[in-house]
Structure 1
Amino acid sequence: MQQDKHPDYHSVVFRDRAAGYAFLTRSTATSDQTIEWDDGETYPVVDVEISSESHPFYTGKARTVDTEGRIARFERRFGGGTPT
């Protein structure tokens, strides 16, 4: 493996400001801001707009698409008969 070709992979805290949630993981992301974590260590912190704690898909607040209404509208517009 060639040296100096890969980015620095280190521990980083990602913080979701909207949900008030933060998690520690490993990443190549960098930041000038730091935070002291529960283990007493200081890690770079990256603020994100959305995470699994605030994303509508994961929180169960996702919009449902009315596919039945769309199909009925298509059939009314273009004739819903089966081809013969």
Structure 2
Amino acid sequence: MKNEIHPDYHDIKVIMTDGSEFTTRSTFGKPGDVMRLDIDPKSHPAWTGVQRASSRGGRISKFNQKFGSFGLKSND
């Protein structure tokens, strides 16, 4: 490895959304800095499995409204 091309790697404190904290090594900030998380695995729907289903008229519903019956014929 070449010398002096890598960022400083030091200890920081990470505070999760529920207030729990841990120490890790990172290139973030300066030694001893604190990183407060807005989203983490304890609160984000991708990890918790709790998701909100909302119908806001997204692309699929707009497509279905515009082209819903286009080219469909029954073969009775």
Q: TM class by shorter-chain length? A: 0.5 to 0.7
Q: Aligned runs of 1:4-83 on 2, under 5 Å?
A: 4-16=4-16, 18-31=17-30, 34=32, 44-64=33-53, 71=60, 74-81=63-70
Q: Would the alpha carbon gap of residues 75 and 54 (structure 1) be closer, same or farther in structure 2, given more than 3 Å must change?
A: closer
Residue pair 2:10, 2:30 contacting (<8 A) in 1 also: no
Instruction: Please identify the structure whose Cα radius of gyration is greater.
Output: 2
Q: Would the alpha carbon gap of residues 64 and 23 (structure 1) be closer, same or farther in structure 2, given more than 3 Å must change?
A: farther
Q: Secondary structure at the match of 1:75?
A: helix
Q: Secondary structure at the match of 2:36?
A: strand
Q: Secondary structure at the match of 1:8?
A: coil
Identity of aligned residues (%): 37
Paired letter, 1:21: S
RMSD (CA atoms)? 3.1
TM-score by length of 2: 0.56
The answer for unaligned runs of 5 or more in structure 1 is 35-43
- Higher normalized strand content (fraction of residues): 1
TM-score by length of 1: 0.53
Give the superposition deviation at 1:52: 1.4
